[in-house]
Structure 1
Amino acid sequence: MDNNYKDPQYGFSPLTQSYVPPQAKTSGKAITSLVLGIISLITLPLGGIIVLGIIGFFSGIVAIVFSSLSFKEIKRVQVRGRGMAIAGLVCGIVATTVNVLVFVIFFVIGFMNAMNNV
């Protein structure tokens, strides 16, 4: 028999540092676009109140502008947030379009009532 035989060691290897790539930042303009788009949709049913209708209309337009700016930033700087920018753009377009249609409908109804009263 060989007296120099050693049992295998099943210990852990020393810890090594693993590389974790840094995550890309999220575009602040995309977040702003999404928040303003949601605000414009929330104020949409309350458009009968003139102040909230104006806030919803302008927040929808600003959401569209910020989403456009965020698309350029995402392409140029390689940041995340494309999905938020798309959602902000869609919310802004829908809310602005509906606000304009409601305004036109109310304007036409008011004009027709004024013409009937003359």
Structure 2
Amino acid sequence: MSYPTPWQGKPLQGPGGPPMLASHADRERAVDVLRAGYGEGRLDHPEFEKRVTRAYQARTVADLAVLVADLPQGPMPQTMAAVGPVPRTFLPAPQPKTNGKAIASMVCGILCVATGGLTGLPAVILGHLAQSEIRRTGEGGDGFALTGLVLGWLSVAGWVFFAVLIGLVAVLAGSPG
């Protein structure tokens, strides 16, 4: 049995006078409501096409109201119970814990400047320990460990260069000339 839909009838007349003419914006709003209804599966494609055609041909606001009368006029609120939990696939991947030795290596490497290079050797040792733990456990902080290693090795190289320079000066100053 086929039921007549309200939008297939004649244009509605306002109670007390002629109906108000529809503007282009009124037509576009009605078509937006129809698109939303089609997107939500409330209208099949042939009915959607018929209503859109009729919306663009509508002369009055009442004609448009009839076209969207059986559709929600905005987004339908959905509760989390209706939607359900977000599948794990779509959740962001959990960030791994940062290795503590990697952080300590970077701090020691940065402190090389303030301590005159005294924290360079601990930065190198902690950096190598951190990198091996990171490979073994999958923790984060590889960049921190690398920063500590680079700064630590620069500090150690600076101390070695300074020691060689002092030794060279001592040898040259002690040689009879």
Same fold, TM-score > 0.5, yes or no: yes
Residue 64 of structure 1 corresponds to 124
Letter of the 1:106 counterpart: I
- Alignment equivalent of 1:99, drawn from 155, 159, 165: 159
CA RMSD of aligned residues (A): 2.4
Q: How does 1:29-44 map to 2 (within 5 A)?
A: 29-40=101-112, 42-43=113-114
Cα separation, 2, equivalents of 1:88 and 1:116: 44
Q: Does 1:90 find its partner at 2:150?
A: yes
Cα separation, 1, equivalents of 2:95 and 2:163: 44
Residue 13 of structure 1 corresponds to 78
Cα separation, 2, equivalents of 1:68 and 1:12: 55
Task: Tell me the percent identity.
Answer: 29
Q: Which runs of 5 or more structure 2 residues have no equivalent in the other structure? A: 7-68
When the two structures are superposed, what TM-score results if normalisation uses the length of structure 2? 0.51
When the two structures are superposed, what TM-score results if normalisation uses the length of structure 1? 0.72
Q: Which runs of 5 or more structure 1 residues have no equivalent in the other structure? A: 44-51
Deviations 1:24-75 (A, max 9, x none): 11111111111111222x14xxxxxxxx55xx24x21111111111111111
Q: What count of residue pairs does the alignment treat as equivalent?
A: 104
Q: Does 1:25 find its partner at 2:90?
A: no
The higher-RCO structure (CA 8 Å, 6+ apart) is 1
Cα separation, 2, equivalents of 1:73 and 1:12: 49
